[in-house]
Homo-oligomer: A and B are copies of this chain.
Amino acid sequence: MLKDFEKSKPEEKEILNEEIKALRARLIGQQQLIREKKLPVLVLIEGWAAAGKGSLIKEIISEIDPRFYNVVSPSVIPESEMRYPFLYPYAAAIPENGKLIFLDSGWMESVVRKELRLEISGKEYKRRVRAVNEFERQLRDGGYLVLKLFLHIDEEEQEERLESLCENADTEWRVTQDDLWQHREYKKFLKAYDEFMDETNDFVKWHVLDGQRKKTAVRDAMKLLVEKIDKALEKERYVGEPFEEKFPLLKMPKLADVDLSPTISDEEYKSELKKLQKRLSELHNVIYRKKIPVIICYEGWDAAGKGGNIRRVAYPLDPRGFDVHPIASPLPHELNRQYLWRFWTRLPRTGHICIFDRTWYGRVMVERLEGFCTEKDWKRAYNEINEFERQLTDWGAVLLKFWIHIDQDTQLARFTERQNTPEKQWKITEEDWRNRDKWPQYEEAVDEMLQKTSTENAPWYIIESNDKHYARIKALKIIVKALEKACEKHFKESFD
């Protein structure tokens, strides 16, 4: 894309100014519609050091109401200090519906720079490219307008600009060691940028702007933006089609075929619980020191015993090293963003454990059944979730998913007990009874979810919980085993 880039021809300044003025007026006019139609717009601006990314953004936004956009400049954090998946800062920065975000360099700069610095392996580079494509497609399919721009200048131009910045005491500080390194390695960067752009051009296209002609670049960027916004506003909000993607799926039984009879004696329960909790406590220490992030997901029927199960897992953990996230209906600012956003922003840091009490699987259960999203949305979600989870495990996370399972009779008995016990009444609501009426529909949805999202890297475990004690021991055993495995293989694979 860069190698065969044709420089733009000189244009008359006055005509350019007129064009920019007209585009600005159009953008101002679009503001209100963007808000009304709740269109989220993400503009990613990548490019060479000293290419003028900052000024370009400034020109584009100069007349937009500053309450409707944000400019975000995530810094490239050295791999050794990264406590979150590499996409985390960008996923956290996605705009709310009706707002614009300008990213002043983003995932491309981060991935390419680390590749060239050999901070990440070739294999990891490929994984990141794949994740970037997934991330971009998910935003597009979720109705986001994503515009990717690259501001290009040639080697000679870069040299001149860096020199002139360095000559002036007022601007010298703007030139970083990284910028100078990039300039020394211009040809390597050129090749790497080119490759990255080729590899990430499938879902959201790249647009190269000529950074050597500033006004032309502003005009071109604004034209692209204004036209894409117009196009997005013309139609209903885009909803992506479900797609096929092969994941290494594990065979899961149907819920109806699960034998719920297993129990455990009181005595065995007590001794196992103590043993497993002790082991988990030791492992938490190792996890912490080896900086392995752990994510444990709980889903299950109402009154299946999620809360008590979670408590037995949390008990032996160092309270400074874990979090439990109860997931309820999304808040307005969460509902106004892609559905995975509220999970991205709750991920644990490396070395920490986080437990989700209900998860992103709400998309293919309650949201599906209550019509909170379209059919295309929840059908697409199986693969989107598989992608998201692969990104988490690629990052190095241990990811476990529990379906806490009971039968309808057990649920009824527990509901009734809650209803009849004053201090437990708060646990039971009208909604629980309503959900119970929809048991068959939920069972169908859960079966489909288990079939489609139990991957090798992020398997589902059905936890038989008619006997809650049995369920707790089973969950603990799975966690302990998974953490032991992770601790063993951690060093071996860390630069694989």
B426 near A36 (CB under 8 angstroms)?
yes
> Using an 8 Å CB-CB cutoff, how does the interface string of A187-198 with B read, 1 for contact, 0 for none?
000000000000
Question: Shortest beta-carbon distance, A87 to chain B, in Å?
Answer: 20
Q: Size range of the interface on A?
A: 35 or more
Which candidate, A63-71, A207-215, A264-272, A456-464, is the interface stretch facing chain B?
A: A63-71
B58 near A307 (CB under 8 angstroms)?
no
Do A65 and B307 form a contact, CB below 8 Å, given A54-B319, A71-B320?
yes
By a CB distance below 8 angstroms, the chain B residues around A29 are 423
A46 within 8 A of B: no
> Using an 8 Å CB-CB cutoff, how does the interface string of A427-467 with B read, 1 for contact, 0 for none?
00000000000000000000000000000000000000000
A233 within 8 A of B: no
Do A71 and B332 form a contact, CB below 8 Å, given A29-B423, A307-B65, A314-B66?
no
A395 within 8 A of B: no
Q: Considering the chains assembled together, what is the distance between the CA atoms of A62 and B319 in angstroms?
A: 9
> Using an 8 Å CB-CB cutoff, how does the interface string of A314-330 with B read, 1 for contact, 0 for none?
11001110111010000
By a CB distance below 8 angstroms, the chain B residues around A285 are 170
Residues of chain A from 157 to 216 with CB closer than 8 A to chain B in the complex: 170, 173
A289 near B331 (CB under 8 angstroms)?
no
Closest to A326 in B: B67
Copies in the complex: 2
Question: Shortest beta-carbon distance, A282 to chain B, in Å?
Answer: 9
A73 near B310 (CB under 8 angstroms)?
no
Question: Shortest beta-carbon distance, A96 to chain B, in Å?
Answer: 12
Do A423 and B66 form a contact, CB below 8 Å, given A58-B318, A333-B331?
no
B54 near A173 (CB under 8 angstroms)?
no
By a CB distance below 8 angstroms, the chain B residues around A67 are 307, 310, 324, 326, 357
Question: Which of B307, B320, B323 lies in contact with A104, CB distance below 8 A?
Answer: B320
Q: Considering the chains assembled together, what is the distance between the CA atoms of A377 and B289 in angstroms?
A: 46
Q: Considering the chains assembled together, what is the distance between the CA atoms of A326 and B96 in angstroms?
A: 14
8 residue pairs from A and B, CB less than 8 Å apart = A32-B423, A32-B426, A54-B320, A57-B319, A67-B307, A70-B323, A173-B289, A331-B331
Contacts A66-B311, A66-B322 known; 11 new A-B pairs at CB < 8 A:
A36-B426, A54-B320, A57-B320, A58-B319, A63-B311, A66-B355, A67-B324, A67-B326, A67-B357, A71-B319, A331-B331
